[in-house]
């Protein structure tokens, strides 16, 4: 009997795989046996090297999600994908009364429109092949909460959660499972300033029942599980990986 937690012979496309959570996801999928296409606007050469050093298989792919239609079209250059992980995203901060339209459009294009179009392109190909597949979208705690000074990011991440459920409703009959993972406070470059601020770090840790910042590998483990046969009956869910933050 094959191991239901393995991804041998599967091909996975991971966006934003050059660093942080995206890089960890790419490494996790490769460790489970998948061939990983590590995609990003910046070079993913480091990610490919790390995967190869651990005995895995990977390749780099240049992808700019600021043009969602062009990005989705680029999937046609990648043959026979089994897994799509939409991890890439951007954030722009300002008080809502001062938020400018250009920042709103930039964030929504990358964080929501690109995800819709990437999922659509993946599903069209998967349905045509009749093989099914797995889509994992990276959501956020702000898929559930409002946040402060990040109106476009909050709106986009609420949208990611909604689209994930809609896609699951439409595509599960085609054996395409669609889920999302919502990371909590993870120790990446994006949270360096928070972690180095004693007061803010203390306030954040005080609310996390697990008592620690998350590691990118925590997200990778959840994403990898949702890509394996072991999660075959899981679809339409948004899995919080937050150390208990939302339970507090």
Q: Quick one: pLDDT at residue 76?
A: 87
Q: Quick one: pLDDT at residue 233?
A: 98
Q: Quick one: pLDDT at residue 37?
A: 98
Q: Quick one: pLDDT at residue 183?
A: 98
Confirm if 71 and 47 have CB atoms less than 8 A apart. Answer: no
**Among 68, 77, 219, 73, CA closest to 60:** 77
Q: Is residue 38 part of a domain?
A: yes
d(CA 139, CA 192): 20
Catalytic annotation present for 153: yes
Confirm if 24 and 18 have CB atoms less than 8 A apart. Answer: no
For 131, the domain range is 11-187+216-238
Q: Is residue 154 part of a domain?
A: yes
Is the pTM value of this prediction over 0.75?
yes
- Catalytic, out of 99, 153, 185, 233: 153
Region at 13 (left for phi over 0; alpha for psi -120 to 50; beta for the rest):
beta
Q: Which residue has the tokens 């949702």?
A: 226
Q: Is residue 119 part of a domain?
A: yes
Which residues fall within 8 angstroms of residue 73, CB to CB, at 6 or more apart? 121
- The half-sphere exposure of 89 on its side-chain side, counting CA atoms within 13 A, is 26
Q: Is residue 156 part of a domain?
A: yes
Q: Quick one: pLDDT at residue 165?
A: 98
Q: Quick one: pLDDT at residue 217?
A: 98
Confirm if 63 and 15 have CB atoms less than 8 A apart. Answer: yes
Alpha helices (H) along the chain:
20-31, 45-53, 68-74, 101-108, 114-129, 151-171, 192-196, 198-207, 216-227
Q: Quick one: pLDDT at residue 1?
A: 62
Q: What is the CATH number of the domain that holds 180?
A: 3.40.50.720
Q: Is residue 3 part of a domain?
A: no
Q: What are phi and psi of 171, to 5 degrees?
A: -110, -10
Q: Which residues of the chain register pLDDT less than 70?
A: 1
Q: Which residue has the tokens 């004693």?
A: 198
Q: Is residue 203 part of a domain?
A: no
State how many domains the chain has. Answer: 1
Q: Is residue 234 part of a domain?
A: yes
Orientation of helix 151-171 relative to helix 101-108, angle to 10°: 30
Q: Is residue 179 part of a domain?
A: yes
């Amino acid at each position: 009997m094959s191991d239901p937690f393995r991804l041998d012979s599967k091909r996975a496309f991971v966006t934003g795989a050059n660093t942080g959570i995206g890089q960890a996801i790419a490494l996790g999928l490769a460790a489970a046996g998948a061939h990983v296409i590590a995609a990003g606007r910046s070079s993913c050469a480091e990610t490919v090297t790390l995967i190869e050093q651990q005995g895995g298989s990977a390749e780099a792919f240049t992808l700019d999600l600021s043009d969602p239609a062009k990005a989705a079209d680029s999937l046609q250059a990648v043959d026979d994908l089994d897994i799509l992980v939409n991890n890439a995203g951007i954030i722009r901060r300002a008080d809502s009364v001062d938020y400018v339209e250009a920042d709103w459009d930039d964030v929504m294009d990358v964080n929501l429109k690109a995800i819709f179009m990437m999922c659509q392109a993946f599903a069209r190909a998967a349905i045509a092949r009749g093989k099914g597949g797995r889509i994992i979208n990276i959501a956020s705690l702000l898929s559930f909460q409002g946040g402060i000074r990040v109106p476009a990011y909050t709106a986009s991440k609420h949208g990611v959660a909604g689209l994930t459920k809609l896609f699951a409703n439409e595509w599960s009959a085609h054996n395409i499972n669609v889920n999302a993972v919502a990371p909590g406070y993870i120790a990446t470059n994006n949270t360096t300033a928070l972690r180095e601020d004693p007061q803010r770090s203390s306030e954040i840790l005080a609310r996390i029942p697990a008592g620690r910042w998350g590691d990118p590998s925590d997200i990778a483990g959840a994403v990898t599980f949702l890509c394996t046969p072991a999660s075959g009956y899981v679809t339409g869910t948004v899995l919080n990986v937050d150390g208990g933050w939302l339970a507090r």
